């Protein structure tokens, strides 16, 4: 059963303070850092950054259960999007809620599938969350980062999930990558992965189409459905620009749909997010 967290609606003052601070941080980043999201930048943020930390710290050894590991111990309060509303919630409760929300969301768009492949899975946070739902019999993650893959494999082994959750390497920009063949006929998703490849969005989508998956769910930040008159949307827009995340994916999918190369089945805004600014969009499509 899905966990219903205790939440408090965010007050106007709370929201305006948070939006102002968020926009100020993004503007500072734009002015002083001028991030260009190249392959090397992504490698240093993820492979030798976050995933190296995850692998070194081995946090899964201190949790009693997989759920403990995924939820963590952080009881401090934050603003987050829960069921489409910005609320105050503890970090711990947010991540407990997210486990059910993610499985329900992907399940709703995955037709009859009981297996999923995630492209850009990192160390598999999403896949391990999904593994708590018995619907998902086989979960396979691909990533370019060796440290993410290694951490994912160790976590799967620690929790006795070797047969059900597995990891391998892929470079989504490389049309010749042999692991694309595993996508054929499968249900594939991305979760804040293509955001990291702004320099090759078209190539990545071409490679996925060529691999002939049955269905694709892209959950990525986007600018397309944002209304700039809303503070939340404006905050997201500036944040996405300051991080140099991709902004072409959803226009590209609409264009491929208009050309008859793919069929877009759903377009939605995400109902949950851990911050005010990383507000994702979801597109579901099938190659024709």
The site for ligand SAM (CB under 6 A) is made up of: 42, 46-47, 120-122, 125-126, 143-145, 148, 170-173, 191-193, 196-197
DSSP codes joined into one string, the chain: -------EEPPHHHHHHHHHHHHHHHHHHHHHT-----HHHHIIIIIIIIHHHHHHH-GGGTSSSHHHHHH-S---EEEEEETTEEEEEEHHHHHHHHHHHHHHHHHHHSTT--EEEEES-TT-HHHHHHHTSTT--EEEEEES-HHHHHHHHHHHHHTT-TTTEEEEE--TT-TT-GGGGGGTT-EEEEES-GGG-GGGHHHHHHHHHHT--SEEEEEEE-STT--TTSHHHHHHHHHHHHHT----HHHHHHHHHHTTSEEEEEEEE-S-BSSSS--EEEEEEEE-
Closest CB to ligand SAM among 10 and 94? 94
Query: Which of 10/142 has CB closer to ligand SAM?
Result: 142
The residue (of 7 and 201) whose beta carbon lies closer to ligand SAM is 201
CA dihedral sign of residues 218, 278, 152, 129: negative
Instruction: Compute the least distance from the CB of residue 179 to ligand SAM, in Å.
Output: 10
Q: Which is nearer to ligand SAM, 18 or 144 (CB)?
A: 144
Please answer whether residues 196 and 37 qualify as being in contact, where contact means their C-beta atoms are separated by less than 8 angstroms.
Answer: yes
- Nearer residue to ligand SAM within complex by CB, 10 or 152: 152
* Closest distance to ligand SAM from the beta carbon of 42 (Å): 5
CB of 240 to ligand SAM, least distance (A): 13
Closest distance between ligand SAM and the C-beta of residue 39, in Å? 7
- For 226, residues 6+ apart whose C-beta sits below 8 A from its C-beta are 233, 234, 236, 237, 279
Q: Output 143 or 244, the one with its CB closest to ligand SAM.
A: 143
Nearer to ligand SAM, 30 or 203 (CB): 203
State in angstroms the smallest separation of the CB of 194 from ligand SAM: 8
Q: What is the closest distance, in whole angstroms, from the C-beta atom of residue 17 to ligand SAM in the complex? A: 27
């Amino acid at each position: 059963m899905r966990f219903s967290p205790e939440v408090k609606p965010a007050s106007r003052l709370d929201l305006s303070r948070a939006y102002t601070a968020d926009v100020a941080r993004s503007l500072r980043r734009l002015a002083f850092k001028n991030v260009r999201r190249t392959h090397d930048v992504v490698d240093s943020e993820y492979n030798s950054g976050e995933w190296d930390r995850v692998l070194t710290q081995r946090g899964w050894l201190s949790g009693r259960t997989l759920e403990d590991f995924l939820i963590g111990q952080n009881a401090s309060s934050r603003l987050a999007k829960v069921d489409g509303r910005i609320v105050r919630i503890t970090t711990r409760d947010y991540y407990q809620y997210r486990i059910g929300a993610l499985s329900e969301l992907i399940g709703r768009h995955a037709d009859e599938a009981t297996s999923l492949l995630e492209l850009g899975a990192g160390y598999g946070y999403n896949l391990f969350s999904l593994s708590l739902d018995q619907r998902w019999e086989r979960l396979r993650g691909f990533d370019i980062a060796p440290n993410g893959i290694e951490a994912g494999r160790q976590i799967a082994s620690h929790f006795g999930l070797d047969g059900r959750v597995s990891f391998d390497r892929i470079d989504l920009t490389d049309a010749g990558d042999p692991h694309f063949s595993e996508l054929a006929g499968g249900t594939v998703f991305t979760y804040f992965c293509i955001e990291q490849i702004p320099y090759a969005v078209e190539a990545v989508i071409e490679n996925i189409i060529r691999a002939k998956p049955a269905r694709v769910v892209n959950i990525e930040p986007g600018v397309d459905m944002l209304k700039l008159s809303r503070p939340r949307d404006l905050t997201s827009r500036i944040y996405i620009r300051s991080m140099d995340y991709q902004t072409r994916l959803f226009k590209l999918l609409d264009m491929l749909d208009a050309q008859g190369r793919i069929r877009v089945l759903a377009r939605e805004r995400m109902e949950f997010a851990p911050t005010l600014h990383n507000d994702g969009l979801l597109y579901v499509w099938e190659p024709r």
